[in-house]
Amino acid sequence: MNEEKKIAGIYIRVSTDDQAKEGFSLPEQEKRLRAMCEFKGYEIYKVYKDAGISAKTGNHRPAFEQLKEDIKNKKCNTIVVLKLDRLTRSVYDMEDIMKFLSDNNAYLDCANDDINTTNANGRMVARLLTTVSQNEIERTSERTKIGLAGAIKVGNIPHKAPFGYKHVDKKLVPDEATKDQVIRIFNLYYEGNSYQTISNLYNKEKVFGKTNWCDGTILKIIENEIYKGDFVHGKRTNNPTYYENVVEPLVSKELWEECQVQKKKNSRNYKRDKEYLFLQKLKCPKCGRILGGNATKKKNGNVYYYYQCHTCKISIKETDIEKEFDNFINEIQEYDSVVNQTLLPMIKTKLNNPKNKLVKELNEQKQKFDRIRKAYINGSFTIEEYDNEKEIVDTTIKDLENKIKECDLCNELKFTPEDILIKRDLDYINKIVYPEEYEENTYMWKDYTRSEKTDLIMRYVDYVELEYYSKNKVRLGKVYFRESICKPCNELYDSGYLARTDYAIFGNVVGKLRFSEYLPMEKVSEIIFTLRQYYNVGYFEATYYYDDKVMFFNDYQNRNIVRIFPIEDYKKMDKLEKIQLGVIYIGNDEKTLIDNKEELFTTIPEKTNCVVYELDEETKKRRKEIEKEIEDFKSKSNMKE
């Protein structure tokens, strides 16, 4: 058998550029194997090349299949390869190959591995080397999976960026140019529009210059977990891996989940006939699960809403929750109407500064347009393809330019964070002095439609905890607001430019007061003098004692307190026993100092030049007397901590 003339089929394969760097390039393999055949006296029948294909089980290798056919037809009888792993790295495949060689009286010869399949020892060596090679592949695969999981968890998604996102430094981040249209798709679907209706609307509007929007595209967007910040790797495999909160979401998890529920029920003209104010917001006080909704319609046409935990058998009326929610609703509504609708562009510009991102994206789109133009000149695009691509880019560029103009407009208006504080102070005074006019000029919670209330809670509230306060009776616990929405509000509060309302004990009275954080006295004086353009605003100081948790100041019965704030940076103090507070107030019978009252509700006050506000002599005198008043009060009330 060994004297039989060896007719070689040279098999060469390369899968990656890295192998080429290691000397496994196709020309290099062919050169070395031809030299080996010449040295051993093999006749070369043909060179079989598989380029860019790995030896992984299941991969189709056309050249190798042709080599096997030629062996069956007795055109050659020896497979010549550089290394065994060029042929296979699978023990299972190796057994098939050796059986094939035995059945066809053929052989295998490797240049770099001492393999001779004509005897048992040679076949054993071949099996051992294949086992080692397969083990290397499996270990590499395990390391790759671990590395991939770590990359995904920090936002490095190994896929083409979906609509609404883009890759920046390998991370998936929202695309300022397209993300708004994704959010709009979810909102349109949630409102009851079908995939076809949305795609028809987008085609009619030529969103991004496209007229080929289809219902399948809308469906893929609605189904994609990435838009709620999650990612599923290996969706088409038997063992997909789910990663939560790996990218910045474009829509809330509640909205995404509700769209999936709607999809299951879907009919082409599905419309909501019930709107729950606290949809997917309330947590069971016993098991912590999100409560489901239920509604009953009476003969008089009124609809009554309930929230239930089927596991714990709890049922709560929506009206009971809304009554307790009033305090939170008022705060949300005030923020939404005063800050969000009036000054949100300023907040975004000052705190988030999206202009830099928009300018960068604009430059990228202009570069893309240059590439399209060059491709057309070089003949890579037809005139129709060029026109379609150009229209898409032109639309995106115009949208980005408009957003940049909005940022520039905000800068030209020269808004500052103090404007928010002054505006809210002025509105609070208006509410005290002219309550009827204030309600007429302010869109109050009672004026909201049910849809508007639902939308407001959906946008601002993450979830609500409920708690038992007696047997079988549940009340509102903690309300958790959505961080992405309220972050600007929190930043403004921490820096002293936003007031919050809370309960307080002042003197022997318990009530609610507006508090803000520390600001330098120069800023305080500026705010007071600005407010004095509209009202005779006063200022004095009070003392807050931490042990008794009580504020002490004089003559509060004849004053309406506008806002209280620290005049000392207490966060830098080592020990806190007491702290001096500034108090802005107006008298009980105050009226505006301007002729046109309507300006009070429409104007954004302009700051005035002023000197640092100093205490009057009466307040300085009261400072010396206040300690005695405090001690007298404490001894009479026997107040404990």
- Residue 194 annotated in active site: no
User: What are the tokens at 365?
Assistant: 């789109």
Task: Provide the Cα torsion 218, 223, 229, 233; round to 10°.
Answer: -120
| 640 has a pLDDT exceeding 50 | no
Exposed e or buried b for every residue in 589-623, given b needs 16+ CB within 10 A?
Answer: ebebeeeeeeebeeeebeeeeeeebeeeeebeebe
Q: What pLDDT does 344 receive?
A: 45
pLDDT at 179 over 90: no
Q: Note the pLDDT tens digit of each residue in 338-372.
A: 445 444 444 444 444 567 777 888 888 888 888 88
- DSSP label of 592: -
Answer whether residue 486 shows pLDDT above 70.
Answer: no
**Confidence label for 537 from pLDDT (cuts 50, 70 and 90):** very high
Residue 44 has a pLDDT of 94
DSSP 601-624: HH--PPP---PPP---HHHHHHHH
DSSP state of 42: P
Q: What is the mean pLDDT of residues 405-433?
A: 75
The pLDDT value recorded for residue 74 is: 93
Domains 7-150 and 165-323 equal at CATH topology level: no
Catalytic residue among 15, 337, 495, 525: 15
What confidence tier does 554 reach under pLDDT thresholds 50, 70, 90?
low
268 contacts 201 by C-beta, under 8 angstroms: no
What is the rounded CA–CA span in Å between residue 202 and residue 205?
A: 5
> In Å, how far are 311, 355, 373, 525, 571 from 176, measured between CA atoms?
43, 10, 24, 40, 37
In the structure, what pLDDT confidence band is assigned to residue 266 with cuts at 50, 70 and 90? low
Confidence of residue 609 (pLDDT cuts 50, 70, 90): low
Residues 6+ apart with CB under 8 A from 65: none
516 or 488: which carries more pLDDT confidence? 516
Token readout for 309 is 């935990």
Model confidence band, residue 499 (pLDDT cutoffs 50, 70, 90):
confident
The average pLDDT across 501-523 equals: 80
Q: What is the dihedral of CA 530, 534, 535, 538, to 10 degrees?
A: 0
| Model pLDDT, residue 15 | 72
Q: Can you spell out the DSSP letters for 399-426? A: HHHHHHHHHHHHHHHT--HHHHHHHHHH
Position 613 scores a pLDDT of 47
232 conformational bin, left if phi > 0, alpha if psi -120 to 50, beta if neither? beta
pLDDT at 270: 45
Residue 215's contacts (CB-CB under 8 Å, 6 or more residues apart) are 194, 195, 196, 198, 199
Per residue in 434-455, pLDDT tens? Answer: 988 888 877 666 777 777 777 7
Kind plus residue range of the DSSP H or E element containing 634: helix 617-637
Q: Domain 7-150 sits in which CATH superfamily?
A: Resolvase, N-terminal catalytic domain (3.40.50.1390)
pLDDT at 535 over 90: yes
The contacts of residue 620 (CB under 8 Å, 6+ apart) are none
Q: Where are the domains of the chain?
A: 7-150, 165-323, 499-641
Residue 287 neighbours by CB distance under 10 Å = 10
Average pLDDT, the chain: 76
Residue closest to 581 by CA, chosen among 494, 501, 519, 507: 519
Q: Which residue has the tokens 């991370």?
A: 171
**Residue 473, beta-bridge partner list:** 470
pLDDT bracket for residue 556 (50, 70, 90): low
Average of pLDDT values for 6-30?
74
How far is Cα 397 from Cα 403, in angstroms, rounded to an integer?
10
Q: What is the pLDDT of residue 117?
A: 62
- Lowest mean pLDDT, pick from 23-32, 54-63, 572-581: 54-63
What proportion of the chain, given as a percentage, has pLDDT over 70? 71
Helix (H) or strand (E) holding 45: strand 43-51
- Structural tokens at position 104: 């066809």
User: Which of the two residues, 511 and 579, has the higher pLDDT score?
Assistant: 579
Q: How confident is the model at residue 225 (pLDDT cuts 50, 70, 90)?
A: confident
Task: Give the residue among 180, 492, 451 at the shortest CA–CA distance from 335.
Answer: 492
pLDDT tens profile 54-90: 666 556 788 999 999 999 999 999 999 888 777 777 7
d(CA 107, CA 65): 16
Q: Stretch 212-238: mean pLDDT, rounded?
A: 82
| 3-class secondary-structure state, position 567 | coil
DSSP state of 290: B
Return the percentage of the chain with pLDDT > 90, whole number. 9
Q: Grade residue 614 by pLDDT with cuts at 50, 70 and 90.
A: low
Q: Is 226 exposed, middle or buried (0-12, 13-18, 19+ CB in 10 A)?
A: buried
H/E segment holding residue 358? helix 355-377
Q: Is 82 left (phi over 0), alpha (psi -120 to 50) or beta?
A: alpha
Q: 169: pLDDT confidence band, cut at 50, 70 and 90?
A: confident
pLDDT given at position 208: 79
Question: Is residue 157 within 8 Å of 247, Cβ to Cβ?
Answer: yes
What is the distance, to the nearest Å, from the Cα of residue 50 to the centroid of all Cα atoms in its chain?
44
Task: Give, to the nearest 10 degrees, the angle between helix 195-205 and helix 215-223.
Answer: 120
Residue 17 binned pLDDT confidence (cut-offs 50, 70, 90) = very low
**Residues 243 and 153 sit within 8 Å (Cβ to Cβ):** yes
Q: What is the pLDDT of residue 586?
A: 93
pLDDT digits (tens, 9 = 90+) for 275-333: 778 876 888 888 887 787 788 888 787 888 888 887 788 888 888 888 777 656 666 66
Give the Cα separation of 98 and 102 in Å (integer). 6
| The total number of residues written for the chain in this structure | 641
Contact (Cβ atoms closer than 8 angstroms) between residue 99 and residue 88: no
Residues paired with residue 80 on neighbouring β-strands, in sequence order = 10, 109
Indicate the burial class of 154 (C-beta count within 10 angstroms; 0-12, 13-18, 19 or more): exposed
| 8 Å CB contact between 242 and 232 | yes
3-class SS at 306? Answer: strand
C-beta separation of 85 from 94 below 8 A: no
Distant-in-sequence, close-in-space partners of 211: CB < 8 Å, separation ≥ 6: 203
Average pLDDT of the segment spanning 253-260: 79
Alpha-carbon 429 to chain mean position: 37
pLDDT at position 269 over 60: no
Q: What is the pLDDT of residue 253?
A: 77
**In the structure, what pLDDT confidence band is assigned to residue 470 with cuts at 50, 70 and 90?**
confident
Stronger pLDDT, 1 or 65, i.e. the higher one: 65
Instruction: Decide if pLDDT at 510 tops 60.
Output: yes
Q: Which CATH superfamily is domain 165-323 in?
A: Putative Large Serine Recombinase; Chain B, Domain 2 (3.90.1750.20)
Q: Of residues 22 and 477, which shows the higher confidence score?
A: 477
Closest CA to 341 of 530, 606, 604: 604
pLDDT value of residue 273: 57
